Amino acid sequence: MAQQPKRGEARAIRSPEEAFGASLRVLREQVSISQETLAAEGGYHRTYIGQLERGEKSPSLRTIFALAQVLKVQPSDLLRSTELALDQR
């Protein structure tokens, strides 16, 4: 059985959802806001943001636009970052 990475360790990206989650986390940390703040300002629950960042959920187009607005980036920037993460796997 594959060993799970420890908290804070990089994990191999295997899916578009995981790539989106990794990109979302990086952008969120760059603007120094918590999952809770991102969730509240975007109109979502904190647990949903956590699920997105872990790649457990797939965001809707509406969600991508709402989160990008809170992060003060273009939705295309968020998707481009996701695409780059997928290219590096």
What does the pLDDT look like over 14-33, one tens digit per residue? 899 999 999 999 999 999 99
Tokens 């980036």 -> residue: 73
In a domain? residue 3: no
Residue 65 sits in a domain whose CATH number is 1.10.260.40
User: What is the number of structural domains in the chain?
Assistant: 1
- The pLDDT of 1-7, averaged and rounded, is 47
- Domain with 82, as residue range(s), is 16-87
Q: Which pLDDT does position 3 carry in this prediction?
A: 45
Instruction: Yes or no: say if 82 and 18 are a contact pair by the CB < 8 Å rule.
Output: no
**Following DSSP, what letter does each residue of 21-44 receive, concatenated?**
HHHHHHHHHHTT--HHHHHHHHT-
The model's pLDDT over 37-84, given as tens digits with 9 standing for 90+, comes to 999 999 999 999 999 999 999 999 999 999 999 999 999 999 999 999
